[in-house]
Amino acid sequence: MKSFFGSLNRDLPSSLVVSLVAIPLCLGIALASGAPPFAGLLAGMIGGLIVGAFSGSQLGVSGPAAGLAAIVVTSVAALGSFPLFLMAVLLSGVLQFLLGIAKGGAIAYFFPSSVIKGMLAGIGIYIALTQVPNALGFIVDGQLAGGVFTKLAMAFAAPNLSVLAIAACCLAVLVLWEQPIIKRNRILAMVPGPLVAVVLGVAMGAWSGSLSTAHFVQLPNLTGTLWADLFPGPDWSGVFNPAVWTTALTMAVVASLETLLSVEAADKLDPQRRTTPKNRELMAQGVGNMVAGLLGALPVTQVIVRSSTNIQSGGRTKLSTMLHGLWIMLALVLFPGLLGMIPLAALAAILLQVGYKLAKPMLFKEMWAGGWQRFVPFLATVLGVVFLDLLQGVGLGLAVALFIILRNNYKVPFHLLERSVMPGTPVRIALGEETSFLNKASIQRTLDELPPGSRIVIDVSRAVALDPDIHEILADGSLRAAEKGSTVEVVGQREHRRHRTAAWMSVKHLREYFRYSSNGRTTAQA
């Protein structure tokens, strides 16, 4: 009980901050997706209450994702109606749930840490860039409309000084709340800085007379709205529509990747270093999207912006995530007028701080110190996320990382132990642990460059896995060497077979270890 109240002391204020950030994001993503504003808010409620309840993530926050906005727009246009699209959302949830049962969450482990850190830094920079116009008072039709850099140029050309003052004061409060003088005060330390910034923003917004309604959070008016309009539900005839299934598959893949990458990133930010069960998370997201399709909401994923805000605001358990969904619902029903008094500039200040923490200069220095093989994929991911989008940026960083791995594998497939090339003198070549078809060209070139009459000894004693193509190239090399009067001898086959058996047994034992914990429970249950 003491632990619960200790957690509630942190989760309750954190959930309030996350909900304050989530509400305008839900509305903005709905507008960018061409969907009803209520569909975005409903997705935020589902992400908090439904996904939060089923998820094993302690800090991850789910809701509508900006990365899916383009898919929503094009899919609704292609399918011809929003209810048909909702059918695709429901089916994508089914596919995600099945992917979790099939243990598809393991694909998250195939992303190197440099790419994940690059994704975090790129998102941080992108967040800051998108919030600068709000901090300068630039008004557009929909928060996410227009290009980021176009909006930046227009915002700097004609800043609203009153809005800028609100953003600057709120940002100053956030910086002050990070200082030791505040943290040493037991009373002030219990109040999250973002909450103080929002209260200050509301006071300054009410005092200023030069702000328009577009500078504040705008909620939909639900008075007199029919139930069927709020919850349209899916068009069940879409089950027999191939285009609906194609859209469902696309959303399932994209939403699952975004979720797994966000899970991996959120786990790295977790002060307690907890690990989220990936398969359970996919199943939870699947349940959330099935509910979203049934009720009429936008598709949901775990989102790193709200997750990182939750972490930075002091959240400790998934109670914070679930409460944030509850606050969205209660705010929409009970306090639409109060929420409408929050200036976007105050929320922009919060997100500017979140963006800075995700993309600190120290992170770039750390990655640079790790060597170019870590820094280049990291930087490629950052630039891709900022200038393209989240998935393309991660894909670019992953492609660069794989290229570096393949390049290194190509360059060092074996060791030439004796470099003497005198006729009749043994030339010893030791193959590496993993030699694949990518190494065929370099091995063949080395064999061809040896002079006639050489005695070539190929040592496979250290090899764990030899590609069938390598067996073929060694056989061809023996024939070519014989034509030049040279001989090829392969040694170490017994050690190679022993290494191969030991590797297989290690994999088998690891599988058994991860399948069963010491108390007999599976990792998914744990």
Residues 246-250: what's their mean pLDDT? 90
Between 326 and 180, residue with greater pLDDT: 326
Q: Which residue has the higher pLDDT, 3 or 476?
A: 476
Is residue 308 a part of any domain in this protein?
Answer: yes
pLDDT score at 423: 55
Higher pLDDT residue, 392 or 379? 379
Average pLDDT value for the chain: 80
Under DSSP, is residue 390 helix (H, G, I), strand (E, B) or coil? helix
Least confident of 208-212, 283-287, 357-361, 376-380: 208-212
Q: Tell me the residue range of the domain where 483 lies.
A: 414-515
Cα–Cα distance for residue pair 263/308, rounded to 1 Å: 11
Pairing type for strands 414-416 and 434-435 reads unpaired
CATH of the domain at 498: 3.30.750.24
> Sorting pLDDT into bands at 50, 70 and 90, what band is 432?
low
Q: Which of 251, 269, 271 is nearest to 305 (CA)?
A: 269
> Do 54 and 188 belong together in one domain?
yes
Q: How many helices (H) and strands (E) does the chain have?
A: 24, 8
Q: State the total domains in the chain.
A: 3
The verdict on 357 and 463 lying in the same domain is no
Across residues 28-52, what is the average pLDDT? 86
What is the predicted pLDDT for the residue at 429? 78
Regarding whether 197 and 172 lie in a shared domain, the answer is yes
Instruction: Tell me: do 122 and 256 sit in the same domain.
Output: yes
**Domain match, 328 and 244 both:** yes
pLDDT for the residue 385: 84
Same structural domain, 184 and 317: yes
State pTM to two decimals: 0.67
Give a yes or no: residue 522 inside a domain: no
What is the C-alpha to C-alpha distance for residues 463 and 431, in angstroms, rounded to an integer?
6
Question: Which residues sit opposite 487 in a β-bridge?
Answer: 455
Q: Of 411, 427, 445, which residue constitutes the final position of a domain?
A: 411
Same domain, 89 and 200: yes
Q: Report pLDDT for 146.
A: 53
| pLDDT value at residue 288 | 96
pLDDT tens for 112-134 read 888 888 888 888 888 788 888 88
Does residue 525 sit within a domain? no
Helix ranges restricted to H, 335-425: 336-339, 344-358, 361-369, 372-387, 390-411
Output the pLDDT for position 517: 40
User: Residue 524: inside a domain, yes or no?
Assistant: no
Residue 156 in any domain: the answer is yes
Q: Tell me the average pLDDT across 314-329.
A: 92
103 shares a domain with 219: yes
Q: Where are the alpha helices (DSSP H) in 208-241?
A: 227-230
In a domain, 520, yes or no: no
**pLDDT for 520:** 37
| DSSP state letter for 68 | G
The answer to the question of residue 521 being in a domain is: no
- The reply to whether 282 and 344 lie within a common domain is yes
Whether 278 is covered by a domain: the verdict is yes
Looking at the fold, whether 82 and 201 belong to one and the same domain comes out as: yes
Asked whether residue 331 falls in the same domain as residue 371, the answer is no
Query: What is the token pair recorded at 180?
Result: 């030791």
Query: Which uninterrupted H or E stretch holds 209?
Result: none
Rounded-to-integer distance, Cα 17 and Cα 304, Å: 15
Q: Judge if 204 and 218 occupy the same domain.
A: yes
